[in-house]
Chains A and B, each alone.
Chain A
Amino acid sequence: MTTYAVEVVYRGIFQKRLSANICRGIVLAAHKEAKVGTAFGRYGDSPERNGIPAKFFAVVADTPLELEESLAKYEPKEVDVTICLDDTLCKGIESWAWYGLQSIGAITKPGGTLIVTSKQTTEALLEDIHQKDAPYNLAIIKGPASFSGLWVYKDDHTDVRILGALAKVCPGLVSLESYCKAIAEQWKSEAKLKSAQRSYEQTQLRPVEPAEGNHGALYSFDKPGWEEMKEALVISGIAPGTGFRGGEGGFQPGRSDVFKKFSTRTMRPVVNFETCTKCTLCWLQCPDSCFDVTPDGLYDANMEACCGCGVCADVCPVADCVTMVNEADFTDNSSQYEHYQRDKKGYLRWLGGKTATPKAESRSHGLHHWSQYQDEMVAAAKERSNDN
């Protein structure tokens, strides 16, 4: 007499099919054990925007009645396993479905498990993951975040590697054997079966104590009642901009008080203010108006407005001026320009460190050319065979 719930936290569109494949895999595998289940994306997240955090769920029970009891039709209030498909989401999530920043695994049961696909170490991840009141387990599936687009799926086996790991961290849900049956039936691929089994063997559980984790503050948003809300569907517009930091010269756009883009970002631009030619392109072409214009005509990417698309780096005519760096490499959202003003040498050292090993590729958002994923799969297969 048991019900299991799993949530998959993913990047909208980039991982839409991946998260769906995982949850469908769970339910199909459960079916092999004559269990009943349902897989569903949270309606509140639709329509998905690429990069915006979203959720998919799988709920499995022994009987239809138990499934109903678990309110599987809507959003589970607590889950046995949280799967995080992009380690930059460990910093917290602000999805379409709510305002404010929620911690990753906010609804993971005490003693439950958080699975993260990442190239980082457990300790590095725990700097981002907000601390919880109850102990839980952390499991890392070694590898980059798997991103692709709406039409062309990047089949790098991440889906089956997650299923293999699930069999290890939550044996009560579905057995490895059943996952393998489902995988064989779904994908008819020996290689994917191997990937699932290898992932099962490699997955380790790391107990996490309540004290451990990011002690940084999360923010929330209080919703007023209908008497407090303005009539006729009206809200105030964004305040007009000011000079840079409210002072003379430059320009700083007004910013939304209620929605920040911290958790929409998987990469962020870092700027070399020394080589900047003030060509204006990063600022002018930014769809998110994220650049504050400094009094001396430089452009400071404001992290509360940047969603990390990378257009600025792409349009920048100077080779090493704007570089996109893995969001996981940052612990705060402070102003690069202010750092540069405080301490030019120190900033350039910091910049050098961030750009020395550009991790941009590990965060490449989807398709560059038709055959791209096949090419990458060949490389990935090599990497896997090197693993053992």
Chain B
Amino acid sequence: MTISTDLPVVQREELISGSEAIARACALADVDVVTAYPIRPYDTVMQFLSKLIADGELKCEYIVAESEHSQFEIVKHASAVGARTFTGSSGVGWFYGMEALAVTAGLRLPVVALVGNRALDDPGAFGCEHNDALAVRDLGWMLNWVATGQEALDTALIAWRVAEDPRVFLPCALSADGAFLTHSQQIVNVPDKRLVERFLPPYNRGDLTLHPDNPITIAPQVNEDWLMEMRKQSDAAMRRARGVIIEAYKDFNRIFNRDLTPFVDEYMTEDAEVILVGMGTMAMPMRVAVRRMRAQGQKVGFLRLKWMRPFPVEDVQRVLSRAKAVGVIDRDYSFGSPFHGGVLYNEIRSALYDMNPRVPLVGFIAGLGGREITQPFATEMFGIAQQVAKTGKSDNETHWIGVRGKKA
């Protein structure tokens, strides 16, 4: 790996929240159009971004919309004329704009959005749940979860690079756990803008750009003779996205002298008999638990899934096939789903289906509504998974960890 050393890979260090790190990324990426609408907790990115714009650190069209629906529609149309865009939302706000989110993917427009994960109403709740972002997982949105402020900044730059790649042209949602990441501040290394320009080429939509010099008609109504072919095109684009993501991480590591892995983060999984899987900031308490149990000689590990769409089947199979038992921690729910498991549980279950031998799986629902995933909860989950490893059989029960009353 050749490392470019002519420019500082760290221009300056800042103590900022995950939201603020993504706002920094917007300035580094020279975003053209930003739309905002208030809802906690994602709005922190717009509070910081509007200040950057006010201070002249980012020159762009900044529009405070009158609803999430308009907020997402405005960037959708700006993206169609060739503008680099950023927006975001949380919880029911994300759902209020759902129509716009669906068509943005259908139109193959590379909008990048932050989802500050928040529980859906009712009842009104500000705490973290993943169901808001997960709602777009079938629509043609690329979807990933970040765990730290640094990763938020890095992944935002990668998101534009992949989304705007002509082989992909799909929108990308960055998911950040509400409060845990959107509001907590850490030291983040902000790279030199000139390096970012080497990594992130300008957005060029080519002959799909809406402009008088390119008089096209976009999205005419279709009957059953056409739609299936269009869905197949989106499917093909999402399939191509995997390779483009790997490419982007390789360049990112080279240009910024880093060693990021594209799809998953492994923690002490090499020789682990029991591996728990989860997304987002829960990785921190889980890593602590892994260290403590390792200290007692227990072979456990944690796998953090970074990309939900495209789903990294190969990586998940490679890592989990080594274990005697796997537990999946969902910070979401999918009521009435197979085995009453969460969304991630059922996705991983399907990813492991063809493996031989098939590793026994157990599901956990934890940390809903922003409830903390504590050390006792972590050890409890490892304990249940270790039992499965011993017996080699799972009861296919989904365990609600930390819920008052019956756990299943």
Contacts and interface: CB of A to CB of B under 8 A. Distances in A.
- Complex A–B touching at CB under 8 A: yes
Interface of A: 44, 96-98, 223-226, 229-237
Nearest to B237: A231
Q: How would you classify the secondary structure of chain A's contact residues: helix, strand, loop or mixed?
A: loop
Contact of A232 (B107, B225, B232, B236): B107
B220 A235 contact: yes
Instruction: Please list the 8 inter-chain residue pairs (A to B) with the smallest Cβ-Cβ separation, ordered nearest first.
Output: A226-B229, A232-B108, A237-B215, A233-B219, A226-B232, A232-B208, A234-B216, A235-B217
Contacts of A229: 226, 229-230, 233
A226 B215 contact: no
12 contacts: A44-B223, A44-B224, A96-B223, A226-B229, A226-B233, A231-B237, A233-B230, A234-B216, A235-B217, A235-B220, A236-B217, A237-B217
A223 B226 CA distance: 8
A233 B225 contact: no
A233 B107 CA distance: 6
B169 interface: yes
B216 to A, nearest CB: 5
Contacts of A44: 223-224
- Looking at A96, A225, A231, A237, the one whose CB has the most chain B CB atoms below 10 A away is A231
Contact of B225 (A223, A226, A236, A237): A223
A229 to B, nearest CB: 6
Contacts of B1: none
B210 to A, nearest CB: 9
A223 B219 CA distance: 17
A223 B228 CA distance: 12
A226 B236 contact: yes
Contacts of B236: 226
A232 B169 contact: yes
Nearest to A226: B229
Contacts of B230: 226, 229, 233
B215 A234 contact: no
Nearest to A228: B229
Nearest to A236: B216
B295 interface: no
Nearest to A233: B219
A233 B237 CA distance: 13
Interface residues of B, number: 23
A334 to B, nearest CB: 30
A231 B108 contact: yes
A226 to B, nearest CB: 4
Interface of B: 106-109, 169, 207-208, 215-220, 223-226, 229-230, 232-233, 236-237
Nearest to B228: A226
Contacts of A236: 215-217
A233 B169 CA distance: 12
Contacts of A231: 108, 169, 208, 233, 237
Nearest to B205: A232
B108 A233 contact: yes
Given A225-B229, A229-B229, A229-B233, A234 B223 contact: no
A77 to B, nearest CB: 16
A223 B229 CA distance: 10
A44 B109 CA distance: 29
Nearest to A45: B223
A212 B233 CA distance: 46
Contact of B218 (A98, A225, A226, A234): A234
Given A226-B230, A232-B108, 13 more contacts: A223-B226, A225-B229, A226-B236, A229-B233, A232-B218, A233-B106, A233-B220, A233-B230, A234-B208, A234-B216, A234-B217, A235-B217, A236-B217
Nearest to B225: A223
A353 B120 CA distance: 73
A225 B228 CA distance: 10
Nearest to B236: A226
Nearest to B103: A233
B233 A237 contact: no
B229 A237 contact: no
Nearest to B216: A234
A97 B194 CA distance: 54
A337 B108 CA distance: 46
Given A226-B230, A232-B208, A237 B216 contact: yes
Contact of A98 (B169, B225, B237): B225
Contacts of A230: 208
A229 B220 CA distance: 13
A225 to B, nearest CB: 7
A235 B229 CA distance: 14
A111 B230 CA distance: 41
B109 to A, nearest CB: 8
A231 B217 CA distance: 12
A226 B228 CA distance: 8
B139 to A, nearest CB: 15
B231 to A, nearest CB: 9
Contacts of A98: 225
Contacts of A223: 225-226
Contacts of B216: 234-237
A12 to B, nearest CB: 15
A226 B236 CA distance: 10
